[in-house]
Structure 1
Amino acid sequence: MPGLLLGDVFPDFEAETTVGRIKLHEYYGDSWGILFTHPRDYTPVCTTELGRVARLSSEFTKRNVKIIALSIDTVEDHHGWAKDILAYNCEESSCSSLPFPIIADSKRELAVALGMLDPDEKDKDGMPLTARCVFVISPDKKLKLSILYPATTGRNFDEILRVVDSLQLTASRQVATPADWQPGDCVMVPPALSEQEAASMFSSGVYTKAVPSGRKYLRYTPQPTQIISTDQFSSI
């Protein structure tokens, strides 16, 4: 669905996957969800990506995130390719199957509906491949983040974990996260909060970074629910 905006309800759909037929909203349930697409089975960059997601699966589980992948191949292809993914990426003998399903979209119906095709990358028949999309969906089924990479550039899934941490924190607390923020770092107080509101809301204190304009908009506070020494403010 081209034009899908942040805050929109993510489209629900039924699809065949490596674990049977699923309904997307039902599959995610009360969890956060990630739908990520890759251009094609049995391709090099995609093999590294799905392997990385498999190795990070426990980290996503800790964050109550359910993952599902999608590409324009059949379920049979997905099952055969999964063996290559595991052989290349998984060093643990207990790793015998991918910990997330893969949607089969061989007719490109979902890829078209969700605006996921990369017009510059084509298969041997001249048909566009799916781009490397990432959609993060909140438990109320609203789109909270979308990232679109070209087929030739692999994604950094550690960054996607970091983004999930930020989204979950900012969804539950009236804070924002600055550039390069990592869990445990100081967060920022949104401009909409007055000084009085910020002071009453953040018991750990609010520090304002002085800037030449004299405007007090660069306000920091320790990450809520985490005890941070005020000495950390000196490094901001």
Structure 2
Amino acid sequence: MEEVRIPLIGEKAPEFEAVTTKGKIKLSDFLGKWVVLFSHPADFTPVCTTEFAAFAEKQEEFKKRNVQLIGLSIDSVYSHIAWIREIQKYFGFKVEFPVIADLDMNVAHLYGMIHPGSGKTSTVRTVFVIDDKGIVRAILYYPATNGRNIDEILRLVDALQYTDKHGVATPANWKVGEKVIVPTPLTVDDAEKRMKEDYEKVDWFLAFKKYEK
């Protein structure tokens, strides 16, 4: 089976130039913004249609977070245009973000979006969260049969941006406004100090503090 190379978390996101529904773009055009690059198996398919409608419904929320959405599938730009027009017609949401027409599968191969066991001519449902410096920060993969939760992608962006700003971590199921995790002490002395600090402590290795705007 063909080996799939996936850009790893913490690596520079591979540069690309591609034809899209908004004209030619390069990933580097969006430095200074966060990017959510996501693939779908094919236009005019049921699950993908519901996902694109959901992304379009939330696109203003992504913009508020300085996030550029970029979609992708191995379909022509004409197919993309026809499909997003149908999405607007039936769901009422205009797709404002570019959708890559990856007919040569260049971007799909760069980002490990084609999994041979799932299909050699279509992408799986992939999400790459890339920060404003062009670094891969999170990766999600879903099979063709199951749609993604767009609110979870927004939540993940919120968590990444908050931890970058405040130097903390976020617990399971965290949402904006909830308490966050203080960095764990790395020495015995710091562990002793932690137990005397004014945090909500479970033990020396797990302590919480209030959310800050």
- Using the size of structure 1 for normalisation, the TM-score is 0.81
* Structure 1 residues 196-215: aligned runs within 5 Å: 196=193, 205-209=198-202, 215=203
Residue matched to 2:10: 7
Change (3 A) 1:62 1:74: same
Change (3 A) 1:159 1:43: same
* Structure 1 residues 93-104: aligned runs within 5 Å: 95=93, 97-104=94-101
1:178 aligns with 2:175: no
Q: Which structure has the bigger radius of gyration?
A: 1
* Structure 1 residues 1-236: aligned runs within 5 Å: 2-26=5-29, 28-90=30-92, 95=93, 97-122=94-119, 127-192=120-185, 194=190, 196=193, 205-209=198-202, 215-225=203-213
How far apart in 1 are the matches of 2:87 and 2:151? 18
Contact 2:22–2:98 (CA<8 Å) still a contact in 1?
yes
SS at match of 2:122: strand
Shift of the alpha carbon at 1:197? 7.8
How far apart in 1 are the matches of 2:154 and 2:40? 18
Shift of the alpha carbon at 1:128? 3.5
Identity %: 42
Structure 2 residue runs of 5 or longer lacking an equivalent are none
Structure 1 residue runs of 5 or longer lacking an equivalent are 210-214, 226-236
Shift of the alpha carbon at 1:145? 0.4
SS at match of 1:136: strand
- Matched residue pairs, number? 206
How far apart in 2 are the matches of 1:192 and 1:134? 33
- Using the size of structure 2 for normalisation, the TM-score is 0.90
**Letter matched to residue 22 of structure 1:** I
SS at match of 2:116: strand
How far apart in 2 are the matches of 1:35 and 1:116? 11
Shift of the alpha carbon at 1:190? 1.7
Shift of the alpha carbon at 1:120? 3.8
